[in-house]
Amino acid sequence: MAAVEQYLKPELAAQIKRLDLRAKMVIRGFLQGLHTSPFHGFSVEFSEHRRYAAGDDPKDIDWIAYAKTGKYYVKKFESETNLTGYLAIDLSRSMDYTYQQQLTKLDYCICLSAALAYLMIQQQDPLGLVTFDTKLGASVPPRSRRGQLPTILSQLTKLKVAGETDLAGSLVQLAAMLRNRSLIMIFSDLLTEEDPMLKSLRNLRHAGHDIIVFHVLDEAEVTFPFKGMVQLRDPESGASEPVRAADAGEEYRKTIKKFRSRLDKEFSESGIDYVPLDTSMPYDKALMEYLLRRRNRF
């Protein structure tokens, strides 16, 4: 993990190092599970083949596969067998918030992203990075070479929050960039317009991409621990108003719970993985628990 320590600030590097061997093995298994063959019932030993099609060079036919199956197959090119991954990180102003945790929401997302970057590149899958607020920002084109990890980590250290969020518009831009089936890992507090966001995510999913939404909130945004009179401020617009915590707390917690339940239902119906997190959860433990749950579903 030397590259992680070199490029991330010490407190984030410490978080990354907590990703233990068991978690790494689970994540590797999860990534391998996404390399599914489209040929159900086809022998595992030929899982990296596809049916011969008009235009293919006959010299590429695998005659051993033909001898065993009686059908013509060609070996897939690397671009067909590898899963291209994209880390998509929210840089809106609200991501800079923390109440009493060591990590802001953005820091927490950087930890998750760095861990998944390390493991995907170990898996030799092409991985890229995009950021967004009202539009797509900094990007690292997907690569699978080992040098990609320090490139991505270096970019992660430069991330700074900016404006408001237009997740839906950013996803439309991202969709236009994608050429192959991809795994899109979104890291955001989802403080954006809900219906356009859901529509854009469904469109990505219907286009054949795998999507995981890591919904990261600060612990205080989930538990509302405040007392007395508090000034509630919209983290993106800056608008604020005073409220009595005793009056607002219960209603606020109900609203957050309903919001997350609604997203869970909507995403589940669309075949999108939804991972609700808050910054009080050790990120490595939360990530491993999610991956174990997913693995057990299939």
Q: Enumerate domains of the chain plus CATH numbers.
A: 2-34+83-297 (3.40.50.410), 44-78 (no CATH)
Q: What is the pLDDT of residues 228-274, one digit of tens each?
A: 777 777 666 667 777 777 778 888 899 999 999 999 999 999 999 99
Least confident of 32-36, 52-56, 143-147, 265-269: 32-36
> Looking at 114-118, 174-178, 233-237, which range is the least confident one?
233-237
Q: When comparing pLDDT for 241 and 140, which is higher?
A: 140
User: Which residue pairs, CB below 8 angstroms and at least 24 apart, start in 18-26?
Assistant: 18/282, 18/284, 19/115, 19/118, 19/284, 19/287, 20/284, 22/288, 23/284, 23/287, 23/288, 23/291, 24/119, 26/288, 26/291, 26/292, 26/295
Quick check: 174 pLDDT over 90?
Answer: yes
Confidence label for 66 from pLDDT (cuts 50, 70 and 90): confident
What is the rounded average pLDDT for all residues in the chain?
81
Kindly tell me if the per-residue pLDDT of 12 is higher than 50.
Answer: yes
Give mean pLDDT, residues 88-104: 92
SS (H, E, C) the chain: CHHHHHHCCHHHHHHHHCCCHHHHHHHHHHHHHCCCCCCCCCCHHHCCEEECCCCCCHHHECHHHHHHHCCCEEECCHHHHCCEEEEEEECCHHHHCCCCCCCCHHHHHHHHHHHHHHHHHHCCCCEEEEEECCCEEEEEEEECCCCHHHHHHHHHHCCCCCCCCCHHHHHHHHHHHCCCCEEEEEEECCCCCHHHHHHHHHHHHHCCCEEEEEEEECHHHHHCCCCCEEEEECCCCCCEEEEEHHHHHHHHHHHHHHHHHHHHHHHHHHCCEEEEEECCCCHHHHHHHHHHHHHHHC
The residue among 91, 74, 176 whose CA lies nearest residue 138 is 91
When pLDDT is averaged across residues 129-139 and rounded to a whole number, the result is 90
Work out the average pLDDT over 121-137: 88
pLDDT at 38 over 90: no
pLDDT at 291: 77
Please tell me the predicted confidence (pLDDT) of residue 78: 43
Predicted pLDDT at 22:
55
Residue 81 reports pLDDT greater than 50: no
- Whether the full predicted model's pTM is greater than 0.75, yes or no, is yes
- pLDDT band at 79, cuts 50/70/90? very low
Report phi then psi at 14, rounded to 5. -65, -40
Question: What is the mean predicted confidence (pLDDT) over 1-10?
Answer: 59
pLDDT digits (tens, 9 = 90+) for 185-240: 999 999 999 999 999 999 999 998 999 999 999 999 999 888 877 777 766 666 77
Q: Give me the pLDDT at residue 244, please.
A: 79
Residue 14 has pLDDT above 80, yes or no: no
